[in-house]
Every structure is written in structure tokens, then in C-alpha cells.
Amino acid sequence: MKNPFLPNFADLPSELPVFPLSGAVVMPGVQLPLNIFEPRYLNMVQAALAGDHLIGMLQPRTDNPLSGESAETTVGLHRVGCAGRITSYSEMNDGRIVMVLTGLCRFEFNQELPERDGYRCVRPEWDRFAPDYQDDQHSINDRAAFMDSLRTFCEQHNVEVPWKELDDMEDGDLVNLLCAHLPLSADDKQALIETVDLHERATLMRGLMDMSTLGNSRGSINEHRH
């Protein structure tokens, strides 16, 4: 059953405050805990709570052409991110806000709007990622092989995983959860975010896991040789 607090696709906003944070990824249906303490982002959260409760997560660009600039607001952003809804919120006595953002729908943007109270806003375009609102997405082509790659990856990287819960998850929920929480590089996470089709995203993720596993294996062999 659809969460009654979530907006319909047609009602997604034309303006969106964004939180640039490398490696912190939210995907549809996935929860991301956040600890907010900078004044501008406290302003952002308060503004979101006064409106539709939506915030966009975007990663800064690693090939930022403006990296020589001193003002942080000049940092380039990847054009594709994911909007989430504030679904849990607590004010701390030390002035922090501890909250949970639940992923809603990915977006891309071509226009950044003027700053508001120190935080950045964009004009999101949602249509490319309309499948995020659909329940009949493509499935993983070979789930057994995918899970084998995941188990090997987690063993090599000492990642603790609730396997029973993952085994019971639908393909889309599983892949989105792993996109957000596996220890992959920021660039790898960005590539996964930008891949619309679930089957293609799962194939890319399996390839990234296998490459990482192979790299770790070669590193271990070389260590033993020296």
C-alpha cells in the first residue's frame, strides 16, 4: 500500500532544496539517517518541514571545474540525485537535528536557483525517473548469481549483512538498498544512481562488486609474495 504521506508523481515540486554530500546516497524506498548541524542546513531542514518535507541529495563532482574557487557554494554538483522525504525528526539540546530521509524519486537538474538562507536549490526534472514510482520495474536477470557476488564482496570487505532480510526483499528494494549502503566509491554510487533501468543497475552493481573483489584478491596475493 502506498504511503499516504508521499506525494503523487504529478505533485512533485518544481523547486527543491539540495544537500550536497559525497558518498551519502538515498534511493527510492531507502532510509538515510542524517545528523544536521551547520546553520545553513538547519535552515534548509526547517524550510522543508514548513513545506513538503522534501530534500534532494546530490553528490559534489570530483572533477569540479571550479575547485580552485574559495567559496564553497561554487562547488560543482552532479546533475542526477534523489529526493527524499523527512520521515523522522528530532531536535537535540546541542542544536543539532537528527533525522531520517526516506528516498522518494530520482531527478536531474539543469538549472540551479539562487541560494536561500545559505543553502542551495535546483529546478528538478522528474520525468526520466518516472519508473521510480512504478511497481512493475524489471527484475534482476540472475538473482542467484547476483547474491553470490554480493556474498563474496561482503566477505572480502567485512560487511555485516542481514542475509535473511535481504533474501526476502523484492529485487528493486534490494538493489536500491545496496546502492545506498554498500562501501562503494562516490563515483560508483553516482553511476548507479544515474542508471534508470533496474536490470541494468543490478548488472552494473554486480560488475562493480566483482571488480572490487578481484582487486582485493590480487592485492592479497601481492602482499603474500613480498
Confidence of residue 214 (pLDDT cuts 50, 70, 90): confident
DSSP string, 178-194: HHHHS---HHHHHHHHH
* pLDDT above 60: residue 116: yes
Confirm whether 4 is domain-assigned.
Answer: no
Give SS3 for 197. coil
Residues 154 and 86 grouped into a single domain:
no
Q: What is the mean pLDDT of residues 72-97?
A: 90
Residues 187 and 161 grouped into a single domain:
yes
Between 97 and 66, whose confidence is greater?
A: 97
Q: What is the mean pLDDT of residues 19-33?
A: 94
Residues 127 and 213 grouped into a single domain:
no
Are residues 104 and 1 in contact, defined by beta-carbon separation less than 8 angstroms?
Answer: no
> How many CA atoms, within 13 angstroms, populate the side-chain half-sphere of residue 81?
29
Whole-angstrom Cα distance, residue 57 to residue 22? Answer: 9
Residues 105 and 25 grouped into a single domain:
yes
Residues 179 and 96 grouped into a single domain:
no
* pLDDT above 50: residue 70: no
Q: Position of cell 578481484?
A: 214
Residues 57 and 148 grouped into a single domain:
no
Whole-angstrom Cα distance, residue 148 to residue 158? Answer: 15
What pLDDT, on the 0 to 100 scale, is given for residue 171? 94
Confirm whether 1 is domain-assigned.
Answer: no
What pLDDT, on the 0 to 100 scale, is given for residue 174? 95
Residue where a domain stops, chosen among 133, 167, 185: 133
Residues 110 and 149 grouped into a single domain:
no
Q: What is the mean pLDDT of residues 22-40?
A: 94
Whole-angstrom Cα distance, residue 200 to residue 192? Answer: 9
Whole-angstrom Cα distance, residue 197 to residue 4? Answer: 26
Whole-angstrom Cα distance, residue 56 to residue 104? Answer: 10
Confirm whether 191 is domain-assigned.
Answer: yes
Residue where a domain stops, chosen among 77, 107, 133: 133
* pLDDT above 60: residue 222: no
Domain with 120 in it: what CATH number?
Answer: 2.30.130.40
| Average pLDDT, rounded, for the chain | 89
Are residues 48 and 7 in contact, defined by beta-carbon separation less than 8 angstroms?
Answer: no
Structural domain count of the chain: 2
Residue where a domain stops, chosen among 133, 165, 182: 133
Whole-angstrom Cα distance, residue 170 to residue 173? Answer: 5
* pLDDT above 90: residue 75: no
Residues 87 and 196 grouped into a single domain:
no
Residue 68 grid cell: 580552485
What pLDDT, on the 0 to 100 scale, is given for residue 216? 63
Q: How far is CA 212 from CA 8, 88, 164, 205, in A?
A: 38, 34, 24, 11
* pLDDT above 50: residue 71: no
* pLDDT above 60: residue 113: yes
Q: What is the pLDDT of residues 131-175, one digit of tens each?
A: 998 876 678 889 999 999 999 999 999 999 999 999 999 999 999
Confidence of residue 2 (pLDDT cuts 50, 70, 90): low
Residues 152 and 110 grouped into a single domain:
no
Closest CA to 205 of 137, 140, 138: 140
Name the strand (E) or helix (H) holding 33: strand 31-36
Confirm whether 70 is domain-assigned.
Answer: yes
Q: What is the mean pLDDT of residues 178-188?
A: 94
Between 128 and 226, whose confidence is greater?
A: 128
* pLDDT above 60: residue 218: no
- Residue 96 sits in which domain range? 9-133
